[in-house]
Homo-oligomer: A and B are copies of this chain.
Amino acid sequence: MIPVNPDRFLADLHELRAIGASGIGKGVVRPAFSRADIEARQWLGARMAQAGLLVEIDPVGSVWGLAQAEKSLLIGSHSDTQPEGGWLDGALGVIAGLEIARASIEAGGPPVSAVSFQDEEGRFGVTTGSTIWSGGLSLETADDLTDRDMISFAQARGAMAHLVTGPFVDPARFSGFLEMHIEQGPWLDQAGEAAAVVSDIVGIRDMRITFEGQQNHAGTTPMHLRRDAFQALGAFNARLAERLRNVVTPQTVWTIGHVNLSPNAHSVVPGKAVFSMQWRDGDAARLARMEEIIRETASEIAQEHGMGLGYSSMLGLEPVPMDAAMRAALEAAATEHAAGRWRNLQSGALHDAANLSRLMPVGMLFVPSIDGISHAFEEDTRDEDLTRGLHILAGAASRIAPKGGQAARS
């Protein structure tokens, strides 16, 4: 067993929280490459060095604390936050990695490395740092990405250029990746459970749909002659809910989160509605079946309402199953530390682990989010759930990390 120190772990979590603290509850404002984010990454590097890890900061600003071994188990997450973020989203997994790597060095335990990936929260896309590191995106292409203020990734990472220690870390150094994260959903909190071993990270399908009818005078156009694009959207939304009912599981979600009417005026029958259609599920076959239903329903509605119908290209992220051996290690540790109080759960959110699965076996552990709240200053988790999660993760690391002790760096 790696003898982690829960008090030190909580103290570090709170020290990290103070960097970029919003002053509202425990909230944090630490978006990627902000001054607070860079300061947090420097603080983390110093902590890793104190622990006896070899610190590297790669070209995109991901911070690594490397064990002195040919192969080590990598544990981490991200320390950047949403523009209005919580104190645990990402930070929890990073400090857990730091504590387990540190405790393992102290105890002469198995080799464990720690990492904080850059821009998981997607100032420049989605899980930018780990996507680049895992080969999902070239640095050259990424450099042209822009944030909503039209600042490029190249420009943003320039702010950390003086801290970069060298090229990207070689993935061959790692035997696998573990990530602990808050659930960001309500299941564990509502059930009063302590943890979840993630079975898979759901796949996502996302596209824009356009209904194009006839813009018209809202006073002189009788109801039965209207080709109202908003009414078509309403009919689509209602029929889709009906149709999906027999196909989905309680974990399946779908969302119309963006709607843009034209001309979007009180006195004009909307001639055009462009809206987002996003759906998530752990099963690729179900995602495909849902796509069929969505397209069939949209076609029917377009015909019935006299609409032109258009689709954007579809973004598709495949479901990522967690590695069986990683899951087994997490489940054994969960049974040891929270018998009868853990479950398996799909992750409805993306995580860095999804990218790393391209390179190595990955496993994920969730701890409860109070009221399921995340991406908000109110985000929180009870101390006992945080430390229990740490013990489970350390237990899994003990079971799965490469064998053999390690020497601390002198």
Contacts and interface: CB of A to CB of B under 8 A. Distances in A.
Interface in A185-235: 185-187, 202, 204, 206, 216-225, 228, 230-231, 233-234
A390 to B, nearest CB: 22
A218 B257 contact: yes
Contacts of A186: 221-222, 225
Given A255-B269, A257-B261, A278-B266, A231 B237 contact: yes
Interface string A229-255: 011011001100000000010111111
A355 to B, nearest CB: 16
Nearest to A182: B220
A374 B202 contact: no
A96 to B, nearest CB: 20
Contacts of A187: 222
A380 interface: no
Interface in A263-299: 264-270, 276, 278, 280
Interface string A161-174: 00000000000000
A256 interface: yes
Contact of A264 (B216, B224, B258): B258
Contact of A258 (B206, B233, B265): B265
A348 interface: yes
A372 B221 contact: yes
A280 B217 CA distance: 12
A238 B230 contact: no
Please indicate which of the listed interface residues A187, A250, A268 has the most CB atoms of chain B within 10 Å of its own CB. Answer: A268
Given A237-B234, A258-B264, A261-B259, A253 B184 contact: no
Given A256-B230, A258-B261, A224 B204 contact: no
Nearest to A185: B220
Contacts of A348: 217, 219-221
Interface residues of A, number: 55
Given A185-B222, A186-B222, A222-B185, A217 B259 contact: no
B225 A234 contact: no
A7 to B, nearest CB: 30
A396 to B, nearest CB: 22
Nearest to A228: B255
A56 interface: no
A374 B217 contact: yes
A184 B270 contact: no
Contact of A257 (B237, B264, B276): B264
Given A222-B250, A349-B217, A349-B220, A266 B259 contact: no
Contacts of A218: 253, 255, 257, 278, 280
Closest 6 CB pairs of A and B: A185-B220, A219-B348, A218-B255, A266-B276, A220-B348, A184-B220
Interface of A: 183-187, 202, 204, 206, 216-225, 228, 230-231, 233-234, 237-238, 248, 250-261, 264-270, 276, 278, 280, 347-350, 372, 374-375
16 contacts: A185-B217, A202-B219, A204-B219, A206-B267, A218-B278, A219-B347, A219-B348, A219-B350, A220-B348, A223-B250, A223-B254, A225-B372, A238-B238, A256-B270, A257-B268, A259-B259
